Amino acid sequence: MAKSLADKILPMSVRDTVLRTLEPVIAQRANGKGVTSFKTQDERRSTILLVVAHLWMLGYRIRKLESLAAKHVEALMTYWHENGLSPSMLHTRLSMLRVACDWMGKPNVVKDITDYLPEDAVRRSTVAGKSKAWDAAEVDPLKVIELAKQIDERLAAMLMMQHHFGLRVKESIMLSPCKALIDSGTALEIHEGTKGGRPRRIEIETTDQRRAIDYARCVAGKGNTKRLRWPDCSWKQAQYRFYNLVRHRLGVSAKTMGVTPHGLRHGFAQRDYRRQTGLPTPVEGGALGRIDREKHQMASLTTSRALGHGRIDVTTGYYGSYGHQLRMVPVTMTMTYSFSL
């Protein structure tokens, strides 16, 4: 495994000191309620170590995290901006720094992002400019799923549900396939692991979806819990096992393949739009001149609901937008549905 920048630059004593400071609080959510995932904890450790490494590169050789001061944050923001970090990454890193400073009782060290950089330089876009679907990176999801079957059938079933039904990782891990099937097996009702606890209905429209749910039912039926989650794992342990298998056994990561499991949701959203309209999504080249406003909006509404979102405009993050080229749908339409499934 390649060494991180922190491993290359920081003395082991400095790395150990920083990690000892983080460890008692690393699992706390920013709002103080509950605990974060193992993935978030790992990201916090690596980001804070990277912060200290960058400070050493800039000449600020702090040896403990408690030495972090306002001048350090200002230097980091300037350095990151000059090196082309995206607005989203700038926001993420500043947020992690703010949380770390709050842990140490130094809430005034980190300011608002616009105190460091111009507003237009840190404005985040929620519209996808590039497809994050696996096929856009020339990664065949079906081949990866077949490989997963040889490694762990539960892992394969989870990936199937993410690919064919657009489930989030947590939703696929928590899924009880038999319980989720409703209306004589014509639809799924997803309610465990959903964001905000909002249940949603997903119609079973294709043969591939039917095969996926049949496979998931068979796999889940082999355990006492009837869930896709490994019977010997808690939710946190299952989440850790899932990402460990995906990254280290399947080799799927943004660094190695240019994709992440979340990209399966992007692929689902794009296919669902194409299935309804018969036309490519905006991020795939669009269909201006061939698609009308009503068809685009209706497809976006259906796809948004299948993904578990309550707003049509959320779909722009999955497959782009026509912007002002298609006028906004009338208010009467956007107000006629509710998330009561």
Chain position carrying tokens 């040896």: 63
Average pLDDT over residues 121-148: 84
* Assigned domain for 287 exists: no
* Assigned domain for 280 exists: no
Is the pLDDT higher at 203 or at 27? 203
Average pLDDT over residues 136-165: 97
- Using H for helix, E for strand and C for coil, what is the string for 130-175? CCCCHHHHCCCHHHHHHHHHHHCHHHHHHHHHHHHHCCCHHHHHHC
> What is the H or E stretch that residue 217 is in?
helix 207-220
- Domain end among 171, 199, 234: 234
Same domain for 169 and 100, yes or no, is no
Q: Looking at the predicted structure, is the pLDDT value of residue 156 above 90?
A: yes
* 335 band by pLDDT with thresholds 50, 70 and 90: very low
Task: Tell me the average pLDDT of the chain.
Answer: 87
Strands ordered across the beta sheet of 187-190: 181-182, 187-190, 200-203
Distance of CA 264 to the CA centre of its chain: 10
Q: Percent of the chain at pLDDT above 70?
A: 91
Average pLDDT over residues 60-81: 91
Query: Which of 260, 274, 253, 266 lies closest to 316, judged by CA?
Result: 266
Same domain for 22 and 114, yes or no, is yes
Same domain for 112 and 162, yes or no, is no
* Assigned domain for 317 exists: no
Question: What pLDDT score was predicted for residue 293?
Answer: 84
Which segment of 96-110, 200-214, 294-308, 323-337 scores lowest on mean pLDDT? 323-337
Q: Percent of the chain at pLDDT above 90?
A: 53
Same domain for 116 and 147, yes or no, is no
Same domain for 25 and 95, yes or no, is yes
Q: Looking at the predicted structure, is the pLDDT value of residue 126 above 70?
A: no
Question: What pLDDT score was predicted for residue 288?
Answer: 84
Number of independent structural domains in the chain: 2
Same domain for 13 and 112, yes or no, is yes
211-255 pLDDT, tens per residue? 999 999 999 999 888 999 999 998 889 988 998 899 899 999 888
Same domain for 103 and 148, yes or no, is no
* Assigned domain for 214 exists: yes
Same domain for 75 and 165, yes or no, is no
Question: What pLDDT score was predicted for residue 256?
Answer: 86
Question: What pLDDT score was predicted for residue 71?
Answer: 93
* Assigned domain for 298 exists: no
Same domain for 22 and 107, yes or no, is yes
* Assigned domain for 13 exists: yes
Cβ count near 294 (within 10 Å): 12
Same domain for 14 and 102, yes or no, is yes
* Assigned domain for 146 exists: yes
- Domain end among 76, 93, 121: 121
Same domain for 109 and 158, yes or no, is no
Question: Can you read off the two tokens belonging to residue 39?
Answer: 């993935």
- Domain end among 213, 234, 255: 234
Residue 92's domain comprises 5-121
Same domain for 170 and 204, yes or no, is yes
Question: What pLDDT score was predicted for residue 55?
Answer: 94
Q: Looking at the predicted structure, is the pLDDT value of residue 107 above 70?
A: yes
Question: What pLDDT score was predicted for residue 120?
Answer: 66
Average pLDDT over residues 265-286: 92
Average pLDDT over residues 32-45: 83
* 333 band by pLDDT with thresholds 50, 70 and 90: very low
Which segment of 26-30, 180-184, 197-201, 266-270 scores lowest on mean pLDDT? 26-30
* Assigned domain for 219 exists: yes
